[in-house]
Chain A
Amino acid sequence: GAGVSQSPSNKVTEKGKDVELRCDPISGHTALYWYRQSLGQGLEFLIYFQGNSAPDKSGLPSDRFSAERTGGSVSTLTIQRTQQEDSAVYLCASLSKGGANYGYTFGSGTRLTVV
């Protein structure tokens, strides 16, 4: 597609439920990043994919968080047993192979609210 697509755009879930967030990157972009933006905060790195591999997942806050990428395209971020502190906007960005970091294209994010 023309841009990075994220779904759903908004998600309200009950504490303790699992959620799946989806990112569809720009076609042909090999690198994919997940960031989290809490209210009034900057972007916090979660995980980076190059193709289907995740060379850097150092930002995942706990083992309740996992992510995968299939076919070098769509990525899913899963949060198990959600907690209220997981409420945030989850942003995905993609980058073309060999592209410099300034070539990030961000999606509009998924706004997650845990009640």
Chain B
Amino acid sequence: QKEVEQDPGPLSVPEGAIVSLNCTYSNSAFQYFMWYRQYSRKGPELLMYTYSSGNKEDGRFTAQVDKSSKYISLFIRDSQPSDSATYLCAMSAKSNTGKLIFGQGTTLQVKP
């Protein structure tokens, strides 16, 4: 079993929809949680970062972490065709050393 599980999709929604992306994990030592967005043939770029449990909002994006359930979510409001990409969750036990553990990535398509 992988340390981080993420449904690969694909997920297809109409423009303006609310999108919910999720990951579950098994390692209780994870404290730092990230969401990356990856466009086709590009490297991942950081979208959201959260430390420990709680919510964080940035424009149309909201990240939630529930450490008790080992579950993290990314919500996208008023989705746009430009949001069409692969979304990867990533997590780490430490803030400044070593590797990130990534989920498989969810492919999202927002249709005009």
* A contacts, CB < 8 Å to B: 4, 33, 35, 40-45, 48, 55-56, 59, 91, 93, 98-102, 104, 106-109, 111
Contact = CB atoms under 8 A, between A and B. Distances in A.
A42 B96 contact: no
16 contacts: A33-B99, A40-B8, A42-B4, A42-B104, A43-B44, A43-B100, A43-B102, A91-B44, A99-B96, A100-B95, A101-B34, A101-B94, A101-B95, A101-B98, A104-B46, A106-B44
Interface of B: 4, 6, 8, 32, 34, 41-46, 49, 88, 90, 92, 94-96, 98-105
A40 B99 CA distance: 20
B102 A42 contact: yes
Contact of A100 (B45, B96, B99, B105): B96
Contacts of B45: 106
B92 A101 contact: yes
Per DSSP, chain B at the interface is loop
The 4 closest A-B pairs by CB, nearest first: A106-B43, A42-B102, A102-B49, A45-B99
A108 B43 contact: yes
A93 B92 CA distance: 15
A61 to B, nearest CB: 15
Contacts of B95: 100-101
Contacts of A101: 32, 34, 92, 94-96, 98, 100
Contacts of B103: 42
Contacts of B96: 98-101
Nearest to B5: A42
A88 to B, nearest CB: 14
A66 B90 CA distance: 25
Contacts of B34: 101-102
Given A42-B104, A102-B34, A59 B99 contact: yes
Contact of A56 (B49, B88, B98): B98
A43 B100 CA distance: 9
